[in-house]
Chain A
């Protein structure tokens, strides 16, 4: 194999969209190998949602269902879409830690010294996280079915709902990538993760925002998580009490707009940050 041969091949490839997709897949596959070698990562993402199914589904569930007067009376039907979205948001922890670990070990230096587009490398992380999220979601759907949750509107709305959830994950992945490039150690990344907790709670996840105090309700309603939760409840035919604010009434639209907006902002920030890493 000649050096010249390698180079000309390389140069012809620079800047082509086809290569970008191929590169992102190569990087994405790398992270999937990681997942195979440490399945505990998937497990750790699922601990909180699974505990939440048990805690909110059974311990508080009956009382909450009765107090909230859930249409149809089944709190678990109301709860599951909230937990799906919650899991998508919690994925940010794995993303951030993986990115900061890479950056601290020098692998990122090698990638950056290679002729590959920065956006491609980061997109690879996103690809892997979304595929991991498919695994998360599958397990949670099975868990939901076990505790009596169902989708009622047929397969197409069900799949669209899952699509919206994955789109939310894409958005959170880019926030996670940016944070991972911002902090210098996995320990520092953990601090950010504690902020995700209130973010995931102050939303339509466990209770309708309408039942929250009036100063908190708008905050929760405009939380991107709420739009996805309300939209998936409607698509799955699960009980929903969105309220009559504009943001709640346009949940389906906003479940698309919010993630796209977040990706636009954070992907830009992340790529810029990536190029200047170490300055």
Chain B
């Protein structure tokens, strides 16, 4: 049996993981899902809604059994040694998995007791974690009176009671306002700094960019879905996904072509034309100098500009580059961490 503390062995490893729901005719959610996460790193699992991120996390945290393939966490086989896996993991999911009616302190002490720390050690660990997540002051208030960000931080604290080797964060900032999102990001960074391996799922390229050492991109659901289509560091992926973009919005659809010709040679790649939205999207290598040059050229031309915006590539852009097709945007995702899409 591989040792948990072997630094060369991946903390999380899956090979050809398969899962479908609802019997043999059900939808294939994972279909040959491969992942390797080095110990002590933050790994981002990026994909749109329905791509199978949560399913992967549920299999890795022993909540769900896979139909096929192999999965290991902290050196233990998820299917055959679930009890061992459970003593080495922490999980914080999309819904804050804490008790609304208990106070922050009662919540953490309860989980501590369930981990069999004993009353005194559970109390001590609770105090440590409350302090670390800045919740000492709110410790004796029932969670109903917590803000969304505080609740999520307490949830994170609860997943850390046993100082897990591997922490799973399933869309930890979905539904949070930008301020709370930053709080959670800070907490995750400090965790990774202390040596915890983190597998983080997210729908937002920006979030993976901010936190992850390496990123795996899951294909959208549908044919060819349920598997990783790109993996690497941000730099690796940037090269494949494309660079930052400047969007030029013109006043009429007829002007789109003219604008594209005007700014064409500032672009680092072919500009993308979108007549319906009167937009020319220009990939650029260096945002600042490109913006100045672009503004100057537009100013000298007859193009009537409505707006100019700089933006980082979105997950949509990434999929367009990787698969050649767009993912239909999910209306429900308009809020929350979606604010992280503009750079």
Q: Which A residues have a C-beta under 8 Å from some C-beta of B?
A: 1, 3, 6-7, 9-11, 13-14, 19, 22-23, 26-27, 29-30, 33-34, 37-38, 105-107, 109-116, 277-279
Contacts and interface: CB of A to CB of B under 8 A. Distances in A.
B325 interface: no
Given A26-B113, A26-B114, A1 B87 contact: no
Contact of B115 (A29, A38, A114): A114
A210 to B, nearest CB: 46
B114 A112 contact: no
A106 B106 contact: no
A107 B91 CA distance: 11
A266 to B, nearest CB: 23
A113 B116 contact: no
A1 B121 CA distance: 8
B177 interface: no
B144 to A, nearest CB: 9
15 contacts: A1-B121, A1-B125, A10-B162, A14-B83, A23-B113, A30-B102, A30-B110, A34-B99, A109-B63, A109-B91, A110-B111, A113-B89, A114-B86, A114-B115, A116-B114
Q: Is the interface of B mostly helix, strand, loop or mixed?
A: loop
B98 interface: yes
A30 B143 CA distance: 13
Nearest to B87: A115
Contact of A114 (B99, B114, B163): B114
Given A33-B102, A107-B99, A113-B86, A26 B63 contact: no
B93 A109 contact: yes
A106 B97 contact: yes
Give the secondary structure class of A's interface: helix
A32 to B, nearest CB: 10
Given A6-B117, A33-B106, A110 B91 contact: yes
Contact of A6 (B86, B91, B110, B162): B162
B322 to A, nearest CB: 30
Given A19-B116, A113-B91, 10 more contacts: A6-B117, A9-B117, A10-B87, A10-B162, A23-B114, A37-B101, A107-B99, A110-B111, A110-B158, A114-B114
B186 to A, nearest CB: 22
Contacts of A110: 91, 93, 97-98, 111, 158-159
Contact of B63 (A10, A11, A278): A278
A199 B151 CA distance: 41
Contacts of A112: 62-63
Nearest to B60: A113
Interface in B130-171: 142, 158-159, 162-163
Given A113-B86, A115-B86, A34 B62 contact: no
Given A11-B87, A105-B97, A279 B162 contact: no
Interface in B55-99: 58, 61-65, 83, 86-87, 89, 91, 93-99
